[in-house]
Structure 1
Amino acid sequence: MPPRISPQNSRGGGGRGGRGGRGGPPMRGGYGSSGPALSAVAPSASAHITTVGVKRTSYGVAGTSCAVYTNHFPVKIPDSVITHYDVSLRFAVVITPSEKTLPARLNMDIIMQLQKVVAPGIFTPRAVYDGRKNLFAAVPLRIAEDGQEFDVTLSDPEAPSPANTSGKGPKVYKVKLKKVAEINPVVLQRFLEGMQSHDNDVLTAITALNVVIRMEPTQKYPFNIRSFFTDREKKDIGQGIELWRGYFQSVRPAMNQMLINIDISTGTMYKPGPLLGLCLEFIGKPGQVQFLMPSRGFPERERLRLQRFIAGIRVLTAHTGEKGRGSKTPRVVKKISSSGASSLTFQLREGGQMTVADYFQRVTNKPLRFPDLPCVEVGSGALLPIELCEVPPGQIMRKQVPPELTKNVLEFATKKPSDRLDSIRRGLGVLSYGQSDYVRQFGLHMEANADALRVNARILPAPTLKYGQQSKNPSITPVNGAWNMVDKKFYRPAEIKGWIILIYERQARFKNENADDMKQGLMTAFKDCGIVCPDSNPLVRYENGQGNIATQLRAAGNMYKDKRGIHPTLIVAILPEGGTDIYTAIKHFGDCVAGVATQCLKSNKCFRAKQQYYANVCLKINVKLGGINNIPDPLSPALEFVTDNANPAIVMGADVIHPAPGSEGRPSFTGVVANVDSASAKYIAQTRVQVSRKEMIDDLVSMTQHLLDMFRKYRRNVEKKPNIDPKRIIFYRDGVSEGQFQQVLEIEVPMIRKACENLGINPPPKITVIVVGKRHHVRFFPTSPESSDKTGNCRAGTVVDRDVGHPTEFDFYLQSHGGLLGTSRPAHYNVLLDENNFKPDALQELSFALCHVYARSTRSVSIPAPVYYADIVCSRAKNHFDPDAGLNFSDTNTQLDDQEVDSSLENFRKGFKDLHANTALNMYFS
């Protein structure tokens, strides 16, 4: 057997998905000869039907009717009963607590062995399995009424089972099956027709159909939840990583029929071949074997970085010892030893010690080529020399791609709309619905010549935007989601009373003349957009990024005050490449300590930059100093709901972000933003830290209360409005899945009401709650030049609320931005609560208008600005911590026990600093 670590003797060791739907009258509107507009009448759900969200009562009709393709394909559902079984799967003898939960791939292999070898007579035809707890059979299994248990051994040496190093023979697995339900497809058909609530029976039926269509590909290909990947199209991007093209598939309910949503996806894979080569490629030393040797000074930091990269990878051993078993059974890597194989010792069963290198020389009858290389620890402590390990193909890397390779991933994943649709169509051949025994046996059927569904759509008119009265033309109407600021002044320009420029790039790389060019570029941009800046000669200082940033900023501010008599209201910082730590320190000082606006620029971006660059910088600077860049025309029909002075409305956006998988002890961050002005263009924010991976916002009462209070004060003190209490609240919520919709209604909505009650707002505002989702695979593709922009995407303002909507609930898809690269993704809006009784047109046009008030660009964005801001606020929450406090925000995995996790979270809570009072009044997050 391979050696194991002996603690006393070892000198080494160690990121929502769209819901489908189809319905309504046939397409009659469109361009050219398409005909008149679409009907607004929607088929109504039966009165007894209960829904989580608001019931759909009508369709929108605003805009120009057109047709688009979508990546959905009709499928006929079964008409026979499906039997549902619960699966309990475990080791016959539990060796360690960590082995209680088995990987999905291993579970699939065990169930397949059960069906093919152990009990083929019972499983005829074969059942389908989701890799966890659910098994579905087209014909009831002949097992005991109270369930039946089977013993399964993966005796096939090719099967990927855990390494057996105990010498006690193959592992035995206990599989218990118990019938839990019968699924009658009638309930599913009734749901599609609007005659059945979305209850557990419907949910289970949809789950069963999804398992059916995924069963065949998951046996053939590497898979990840709902996607699987093939090597038909792949790309080596370096550092031991390959990209494989994949396919996503999901059965989605639609109005009166079921659809399969198919999309392409990208999988990151470990590069197959010798593990040694993979390791050397990852650390950037291909062919330099000696670099990995601890005796030659392999840095500990690099060893840990490499260990994080390969932890969890399965390897085959290249030696032929252990009765040939080593070359057949994949083993999972846990760690990399900090000593070489010639230095690591282990205790022999018969007594005495032996080095790992000597052991493998005895087993293989030849010495290791590189005995000073470290070993990998696998299984429950076995050590294997790196040089003897092979990485089999098709292993998904479930870690973040290194930032420097992100561009390569985007290039591979990005496809023009027409190319993406062609790939999806070709994917039908890979998915092989017609050839799959499972699909046929369960009665699912897709037409052999099925094509992407053609659906009804409309293109909404863009809102008119207003700039300052000093502008040559104060009003502008965006064209396909874009406009420019030529001859435009900001609607409300800010004033820079004093400013300083701190340069953290080396003076040899960013010289005095470059600093002068940058300063002049900013001054010109200030004048062009209307920002008032009386000081044309700011203080300019070169600083050392390795020093104490807060001390440097404070000293520069005091120096400016000594010379000019006031503290600066703006700090402009020029950062070198990779200056993330400097950026964080500057933002913490400006946002939480000094209450001064900060604007960071990358040296390579502002080096001889064009004037357009500085104009874009001014978009951010103006709102950070309290200005307003533009507003949607208050007289626009799209804005009449929020600009009605008799019924003041506040628009809120909320989001929660969570730490990377495996990052135990790090908190989640919550963000809520809201407008304070009557035009819904000026926003302020609140952010908090809370328990890791908790989706509902704990402090929503206090956050909402603060935002409502600031809204009232702004109306009273700045806008001089007589009525200051909001009568309407529009709450856009990001980041929640369909399964959490009920929680939003039961937990977060009462918190909003409580905040209103605490402020004595009477009558209480009427609330509308809309969940905005982007984590879905629904795409739209133009069918004619009139519905296409110059990138081949659907035009900005394309809305679909019929053919791929929920069968009974008020939802819609809105593609609010013009295309740039690849295929644009529409946002999916689900209306959970609507006390304001919005008509579909009103809510769709309002949402589209709010996508045009994002202060940082002169393009409409993909989701309403308040939701976008909430996401940014969450992402920047780490700037609320003192960078010198030593809190760890890296995305690498950490292994902590429960007590350490609690302590770590408490440290984050204590270290979290509130915004400075000055910063909290402005859009610091822009």
Structure 2
Amino acid sequence: MQIIDRLQTDIAPQVFMPRAVYDGRRNMFTAQKLPFINATFAVTLIDPTPLGQVGIGGGASDSAKEYRVHLMHVAEINPRHLHRFLQGQQEHTNKVHTAVTALSVVIRMEPSLRYLFGVRSFYTSHEIRHIGGGLVLWRGYFQSLRPAIGRMFFNIDSSAAAMYQPGPLIDLCLSFLGQSNPAVLAPTCGFPDRDRARLRRFLYGLRVIATPPRQQAGRRNTPRVIKKVSSVGANALSFTMREGGTITVARYFQQTYDYTLRFPDIVCVEVGNGALIPMELCTVEPGQIVKKQIPPERSYDLLQFAKQKPSDRIASITAGLEVLAYGQSEYTRQFGLHVAPGARPLSVPARILPPPTLKCGVGSRQSEIVPRNGAWNMVNRRFFRPCVITRWAVVIYEREGRFNQRTAHEMVNGLVSAARGTGIIVHERDPVIRWEDGRGRIAEQLKDASRACHQKNQSAGFPDLMVIILPEGGGDIYRAVKHFGDVAAGVATQRMKSSKCSHAKAQYFVNVCLKINVKCGGINTIPEPSPVALMDPHIHTIAMGAHVIRPPPGPEGRPSFTSLVGNVDSDLVKYVATSRVQKSRQEVIDDIKDMAKDVIEKYINHRTNVEKAASPKPACIVLYRAGVSEGQSKQVLDHELPRLKEACAELNMDPKITIVLINKGHHVRFFPQSQSDADSSGNCQAGTVIDRDVTHPWGLDWYLQSQAGTSGTSRPSHYSVLYDDNKFSADNLQALSYALCHACARSTRSISIPAPVYYAGIVASRAIYQCEPEAIYQDDPEADHDSADSASAFMRAYKPLHRNMSSVMYFS
């Protein structure tokens, strides 16, 4: 931005009149034609000289750096295409997309020159929170320009982002490691390679200001980007000087600057130009967005910071209009955009859909449940089809001093009592209980527990259920447990955190039983059949959910994981899943044909062998597709739909297909206009649907807030019908979608998206557990995150589900 701004204001102001806008990458848009087709400009910026060697010589004076900017005319944008699209007279084409993109760049040009900019959000330091771990949270504003029926509108929302902690680099490193003594960064004092590797990955790409000793006050050096962390301290780290000979970093600063390092034993950082710089000379610039995945232990803090009560959020959004000052931007005026003075949030009509009636099992005090405010409970109610647990085992990875024999037996009694209260038949009241060390071989420990269960019950095979008690931070143990249960042994596993299940109330164990019942083949509740919601057993419908989980920011070459989930019963509550691994950051699902065949075959088998249906093949498939951006929707139509049809053809069936895209990653928020319209949290009520005024000009779409608010401001889900062979009405699809939001077995609340696509997200996110734990990247201190072999390694390590798991809801 600095180069383009200087080009337009100082180098060639007479050429860029009115000024052009720039997207920060390679596209520039102008309101009028420029007086050339191709042109190259030289732009000079002052670039302070870097810190003197440790590989590179230095000087004391600023140097001018010249940049070459080449501009070439590539296209003209005709606003008529956008106008016709907004009037619903043509579909969304590349020309429409380009016009919307250009206008989006126009409105963010002015704020991007004034505020810290990340993707489509602007951040200020007016409200910050230190959360430890080397992170600081900043609040900001998201903005985008969205098309609606007959008009464009600004979408503004409050947002939050994690920044690197500014100040001395040593302080940042100590905060990240949770330490206070700089000596912990010294290899000679036992700085572990594993922690050094974690620190290297955290610091990679961070900009620091390296200040030479005794530098003149007021001088600002060019930021340098950290690439590596040395394996030894400055007093043991040597390099070859240009004049010849070798010298340690500590000795170099002593000779060159007459400066004795305060911390000569701690590691150095290597910056982009190869220079090795002691940490004590580095300062972290404020306002650097962390583009890597936030550590799990800090995610909660970010979530809590981002949460705002509806009344606070709408006030923040309204204030954002003044902060971003669209109406005062010369760029918006020059491109003919008008922002009404005193603009206020848009008022739109909405409806509240009725919830489905849920049926419970025999022996319940009430056989039916009508959810209220998006919630219900299972008190005095039994599962519709409870499972049977003949033998089971408990493995505890918490220290016995914290989770002793008495606590373990209280937990077992509480779980058995809750299970029997919900109808689950538990034959064994005194399961095998073992304490194990999480640093050992998890699979062998679980096999030993299984053998002990076998000897106790004098029965062959693994237990029906293994309950695992984990300590805080037991993520590595959890992954190994799931690989053992889902892939190696084919046994249902249920994790409980020691802090949660110790002296827990009865309701906690009832919630755990919701998961256990379906993992062991049971059914919790079923919705009352409703033709309006397409849940009539005579329709023979498969509701599928498909998802793609891409790797987190940072690692390149890591694979994407895909999943497909579908019901096998006529009540749309019993689901099976399949998953795959594919190349990195690919949004279309390569193997959707084979995945669909797998799900449909299980549906046919269940309908034939369990429900004894005369016509077991589905007549209708509704696919909810998540994990795909709006710009990639055409690829879903071109790639996934034909393969879904091929799968059906190979099974000698021709069902009608409907594909609905679901997006939760948007920033559209809805607020009740009065307290009487709100739920107890101040949000819109569960079942609120908006399908007018702010919806897409072309095609059928709607926003549905299916969940009740708990804390913060609820986010509605956006549904877009991509393909519809069934010719469903909007009412039919909205009712089906809302009913399926009540079909999640692991909750007694309506969820934010339909159960099959919710399950698909879980399956895709935990598909990595199907990889052999020892065969994939496991914090190798010198592992290269950019390795092109990374995806191949995951593919080789990926194993199919155990056949025992393929027909149950192991993912619940």
TM range (shorter): over 0.9
- Give the number of equivalent residue pairs: 804
- Which letter maps to 1:685? A
User: Deviation at 1:615?
Assistant: 0.5
Q: What is the 5 A alignment of 1:166-565?
A: 169-286=63-180, 288-319=181-212, 327-565=220-458
Structure 1, unpaired ranges of 5+:
1-107
| Residues 890, 667 of structure 1: alpha-carbon distance in 2 compared, 3 angstrom cutoff | farther
The 10-residue stretch of structure 1 (748-757 or 841-850) with the greater mean CA deviation from structure 2: 748-757
Conserved? CA contact 1:433–1:446, under 8 Å? yes
Are 1:877 and 2:767 matched, yes or no? yes
Partner of 1:829: 719
Conserved? CA contact 1:165–1:382, under 8 Å? no
Partner of 1:676: 568
| Residues 689, 366 of structure 1: alpha-carbon distance in 2 compared, 3 angstrom cutoff | closer
Three-state SS of the structure 2 residue aligned to 1:767 is: strand
- Which letter maps to 1:109? Q
Are 1:151 and 2:39 matched, yes or no? no
Three-state SS of the structure 2 residue aligned to 1:181 is: coil
Q: Deviations over 1:171-220 (max 9, x none)?
A: 32221111122223333222211223322222121111111111111112
User: Deviation at 1:470?
Assistant: 1.9
User: Deviation at 1:595?
Assistant: 2.1
Three-state SS of the structure 1 residue aligned to 2:156 is: strand
Partner of 1:702: 594
Partner of 2:659: 769
- Select the residue among 639, 644, 657 that pairs with 1:747: 639
Q: What is the 5 A alignment of 1:540-689?
A: 540-566=433-459, 567=461, 568-634=463-529, 636-639=530-533, 641-645=534-538, 647-689=539-581
- Which letter maps to 1:922? V
* d(CA) in 2 for partners of 1:197, 1:582: 50
Three-state SS of the structure 2 residue aligned to 1:155 is: strand
Three-state SS of the structure 1 residue aligned to 2:486 is: helix
- Which letter maps to 2:522? G
The alignment yields a C-alpha RMSD, in angstroms, of 2.4
The 10-residue stretch of structure 1 (353-362 or 870-879) with the greater mean CA deviation from structure 2: 353-362
User: Deviation at 1:349?
Assistant: 3.1
| Residues 562, 781 of structure 1: alpha-carbon distance in 2 compared, 3 angstrom cutoff | same
| Residues 679, 376 of structure 1: alpha-carbon distance in 2 compared, 3 angstrom cutoff | same
Partner of 2:791: 905
Partner of 1:102: none
TM-score by length of 2: 0.95
Conserved? CA contact 1:728–1:765, under 8 Å? yes
The 10-residue stretch of structure 1 (682-691 or 534-543) with the greater mean CA deviation from structure 2: 534-543
Q: What is the 5 A alignment of 1:811-822?
A: 811-822=701-712
Are 1:127 and 2:13 matched, yes or no? no
Partner of 2:776: 887
* d(CA) in 2 for partners of 1:133, 1:912: 38
- Which letter maps to 1:173? Y
User: Deviation at 1:299?
Assistant: 3.0
* d(CA) in 2 for partners of 1:501, 1:284: 33
* d(CA) in 1 for partners of 2:187, 2:782: 23
| Residues 349, 798 of structure 1: alpha-carbon distance in 2 compared, 3 angstrom cutoff | same
* d(CA) in 1 for partners of 2:200, 2:444: 37
The 10-residue stretch of structure 1 (472-481 or 538-547) with the greater mean CA deviation from structure 2: 538-547
- Which letter maps to 2:800? D
User: Deviation at 1:684?
Assistant: 0.7
Partner of 2:751: 861
Conserved? CA contact 2:48–2:63, under 8 Å? no
User: Deviation at 1:323?
Assistant: 9.1
User: Deviation at 1:169?
Assistant: 4.9
Q: Deviations over 1:800-852 (max 9, x none)?
A: 11111001211111000000111111111010111111100010010000000
* d(CA) in 1 for partners of 2:464, 2:631: 46
* d(CA) in 2 for partners of 1:325, 1:172: 24
Are 1:712 and 2:604 matched, yes or no? yes
User: Deviation at 1:742?
Assistant: 0.8
- Select the residue among 779, 804, 810 that pairs with 1:918: 804
| Residues 724, 892 of structure 1: alpha-carbon distance in 2 compared, 3 angstrom cutoff | farther
Partner of 1:737: 629
* d(CA) in 1 for partners of 2:146, 2:451: 62
The 10-residue stretch of structure 1 (419-428 or 209-218) with the greater mean CA deviation from structure 2: 209-218
Partner of 1:76: none
Q: Deviations over 1:705-750 (max 9, x none)?
A: 1111111111111111111111110111111111111111111111
| Residues 320, 582 of structure 1: alpha-carbon distance in 2 compared, 3 angstrom cutoff | closer
- Which letter maps to 1:151? A
User: Deviation at 1:413?
Assistant: 0.8
| Residues 208, 680 of structure 1: alpha-carbon distance in 2 compared, 3 angstrom cutoff | same
User: Deviation at 1:605?
Assistant: 1.1
Conserved? CA contact 1:466–1:630, under 8 Å? yes
- Select the residue among 25, 29, 42 that pairs with 1:136: 29
| Residues 295, 490 of structure 1: alpha-carbon distance in 2 compared, 3 angstrom cutoff | closer
Q: Deviations over 1:253-306 (max 9, x none)?
A: 1111110000111121122222222222222233x2333234444333333322
- Which letter maps to 2:578? Q
User: Deviation at 1:439?
Assistant: 1.7
| Residues 320, 557 of structure 1: alpha-carbon distance in 2 compared, 3 angstrom cutoff | closer
Three-state SS of the structure 2 residue aligned to 1:748 is: helix
Q: Deviations over 1:464-486 (max 9, x none)?
A: 11111321111111011100112
User: Deviation at 1:861?
Assistant: 0.2
User: Deviation at 1:435?
Assistant: 1.8
* d(CA) in 1 for partners of 2:134, 2:448: 46
Structure 2, unpaired ranges of 5+:
none
User: Deviation at 1:894?
Assistant: 5.6
Conserved? CA contact 2:349–2:692, under 8 Å? yes
Three-state SS of the structure 2 residue aligned to 1:901 is: coil
* d(CA) in 1 for partners of 2:365, 2:131: 50
Partner of 1:844: 734
Conserved? CA contact 1:496–1:531, under 8 Å? yes
Three-state SS of the structure 2 residue aligned to 1:153 is: strand
User: Deviation at 1:130?
Assistant: 0.4
Three-state SS of the structure 1 residue aligned to 2:744 is: coil
- Which letter maps to 1:918? N
| Residues 890, 446 of structure 1: alpha-carbon distance in 2 compared, 3 angstrom cutoff | farther
Partner of 1:74: none
Partner of 2:691: 801
TM-score by length of 1: 0.83
* d(CA) in 1 for partners of 2:782, 2:673: 46
User: Deviation at 1:508?
Assistant: 2.0
Three-state SS of the structure 1 residue aligned to 2:350 is: strand
Conserved? CA contact 1:320–1:326, under 8 Å? no
